[in-house]
Amino acid sequence: MIKAENEDMQNKFRSEKEGYDNLLKDKMEIEEKLKRLNVEFADDTKVVTEQDKLLLELRAEIEKEQAEFNELDEKCVAHRKIKKTEEEKNRHLQQQFTSLMAKKEFIETKYDYTSAPADMNLETFKQIVASNNDVNDTISGFVGKVDVVKKEVNKIIASRITF
């Protein structure tokens, strides 16, 4: 009976020793995995820190470029408004020019050159001179405005080339 009890105890001891050995083996494997994971974690932390720095630099650059874009966009909006008003002015001036040209052609076609110039007086010549001056003023104003628009267009084209 003592032998059987002794063998039973030895069996229990062996099974407990095997369990302990398995637990010790698992512990060593887990500790080794933990060391590897800690090294990987440190490496990943370095990479993330570098990426954060890079992201901060890129964000600053993006904000700078966004500010430049917003400024240029505001200028474009202002230039579009100016362009629209100038186009309206130019259209109006073109209409005036066309009507004055039609008036001139009408006068030239309807004027009777065969009549005696004695019927003409100084007031008629003053009206003709005033009409010519009015046409010249209209044309010179139109030309001046066209020059201004031309300069603005050249500036816009030059600014596009620099981008």
With a pLDDT cut of 70, the percent of the chain lying above it is 94
Is 137 in contact with 88 (CB distance < 8 Å)? Answer: no
Asked whether residue 163 carries a pLDDT value surpassing 90, the answer given is no
What residue segments make up the domains of the chain, in order of their start?
2-162
Asked whether residue 14 carries a pLDDT value surpassing 70, the answer given is yes
Q: What is the distance, to the nearest Å, from the Cα of residue 55 to the centroid of all Cα atoms in its chain?
A: 21
CA distances from 94 to 84, 141, 143, 153 (A): 15, 11, 11, 19
Is 149 in contact with 86 (CB distance < 8 Å)? Answer: yes
pTM for the complete prediction?
0.39
- The angle at the Cα of 148, spanning 145 to 150, to the nearest 5 degrees, equals 110
140-145 mean pLDDT: 85
Q: Other CB atoms closer than 10 Å to residue 46's CB: what's the count? A: 10
Is 100 in contact with 135 (CB distance < 8 Å)? Answer: yes
Is 90 in contact with 147 (CB distance < 8 Å)? Answer: no
The DSSP symbol for 111 reads: -
In this prediction, residue 19 has a pLDDT band, given cuts at 50, 70 and 90, of very high
Which range among 6-20, 55-69, 141-155 shows the weakest confidence by mean pLDDT? Answer: 141-155
pLDDT tens string 93-127: 999 999 899 888 888 787 766 665 556 677 777 88
pLDDT tens string 60-87: 999 999 999 999 999 999 999 999 999 9
